[in-house]
Amino acid sequence: MTSQVSFNQQALLISGDLTFATVQSVHCAVKELAQAFNSDIVVDFSAAAKVDTASLALCLSIQRMMADGCVVTYKNVPQEMILIAESVGVAALFT
């Protein structure tokens, strides 16, 4: 399954698989959209299908991209991502 990123009212909706095979294209899309962010954003994973450790790397990358005073909030985070984050000590990212 492919993945897509859409942007609507300061929210990013990530859909499809978010794995090593797809995360690079998602990262590029988020990086292009990042220029449109001028305030806090929400990253919504409600349409994400499959995730692996690459999805967590994407979240950390988004945090770095938005570090200039913008708060990033994650919504509908898949349980698998939370477990991965807990195992590497970054679970606070999703709280």
Q: What is the pLDDT of residues 22-81, one digit of tens each?
A: 999 999 888 887 766 677 889 999 999 999 999 999 999 988 887 577 889 999 999 999
Please enumerate in sequence order all residues whose Cβ is within 8 A of that of 54, keeping only pairs 6 or more positions apart, or say none. 18, 19, 20, 22, 23
Looking at residue 69, what is its pLDDT?
Answer: 74
Query: Which amino acid, 93?
Result: L
> What is the length of the chain?
95
- Spell out the domains of the chain, with CATH numbers in brackets: 3-94 (3.30.750.24)
Looking at residue 29, what is its pLDDT?
Answer: 87
Q: Is the pLDDT of residue 90 over 90?
A: yes
**pTM, whole model, 2 decimals?**
0.87
How far is Cα 64 from Cα 15, in angstroms, rounded to an integer? 21
